[in-house]
Amino acid sequence: MASTDLGTGAPVAAAELTAMRRALALALRGPASDPNPRVGCVLLGPDGEVRGEGWHRGAGTPHAEVAALADAAARGLPTEGATAVVTLEPCNHTGRTGPCSEALIAAGVARVVVSVDDPNPVASGGVERLRSAGVDVQTGVLTAEGRAVLGAWLPSVERGRPFVTLKIAMSLDGRIAAADGSSRWITSEVSRHHAHDLRAEVDAIAVGTGTALVDDPSLTARNAAGELHGHQPLRVVVGHRDVPADARLRGPGGELVHLRTHDPAQVLAELHARDVRHVLVEGGPTLAAAFVRAGLVDELHAYVAPVLLGSGPSAMADLGVVSIGDAVRLTTRSVIPLGPDVLVVATIDPPSPTEEP
């Protein structure tokens, strides 16, 4: 059987690579918005045949490895001597569920193939525990694909704060509203549907009090028919002014959280304490600039419409840029046509190192 050596442990067999791709596809069945990661697992017999499959269905449910073991049991297939192919290092701690490392050991699994090491210090250590029990472990298999499936969860855990996506919807000349304040609608219906799908994948949406008072948004995630998605993110208002009692933010949708601060770092700390992994900052320009100045934007989604306004509020407030050398530079990751509009997905480049005199 063909094999490839991709890291520690015995070489990876072709059947294990196929199983890892299947495990990654299974992982994507899990909820995009959840404190826990999307994980998939496939159990293989000695000849590479599938004995069980599983994925994590959300916080409080069995982890992917345990689900795969249960699937094997339901099929009446043994797990003794099996290989577990899993997208994330098996956990080694007891939370709402027990350690997956111990479950695999108890099931007699002989080998474990892992895509991504778990960066969470609370849950990591599964590889060491498995090896100490005599289980052969191969790590680093299809790691890029594994990281992509984990999405915002992975950098959130690595950085100890929510992953921040800054969303801007603007005219071609960088305006978010006309001179009279009207802004519905600069972008197309196609773009708005896309933005609602993004809302349905995040844990929280944040706006400043200015946007809350002027635009009176509902900050809900809706489908094309205008119905609420099953998952509704937290609705976060940042600033000191009160949210009116009759505001749409108090209507149907996610929980309203009012954070009376102007400090983006404090906002993220409070959301992290609520197990928020991914926050979408939607505005307005003052809040957007505050997050950019603080260096706390991980990804920018700019919906750009082929519209010229010439005046009106700009998409970004003052960033303190005096000369072109001070400009905040970004790297474009993708450009997606959305009807007449385009979505530019970009990341902010790190500042250039200061040259020594």
| Catalytic residue list | 65
Cα angle 346, 347, 350 (rounded to 5 degrees) comes to 145
Q: Are strands 83-88 and 111-116 parallel, antiparallel or unpaired?
A: parallel
Give every CB contact of residue 262 below 8 A, 6+ residues apart in sequence: 238, 239, 240, 290
Kindly state the tokens that stand for 300: 């920018």
Query: Cα separation of 140 and 294, whole Å?
Result: 33
Query: Cα separation of 133 and 106, whole Å?
Result: 10
Residues in a beta bridge with 169: 303
DSSP state for residue 110 in the 8-state scheme? -
Give every CB contact of residue 135 below 8 A, 6+ residues apart in sequence: 104, 105, 109, 110, 111, 112
Task: Name the amino acid, one letter, at 325.
Answer: G
Query: Cα separation of 304 and 282, whole Å?
Result: 14
Q: Are strands 256-259 and 278-283 parallel, antiparallel or unpaired?
A: unpaired
Query: Cα separation of 225 and 80, whole Å?
Result: 50
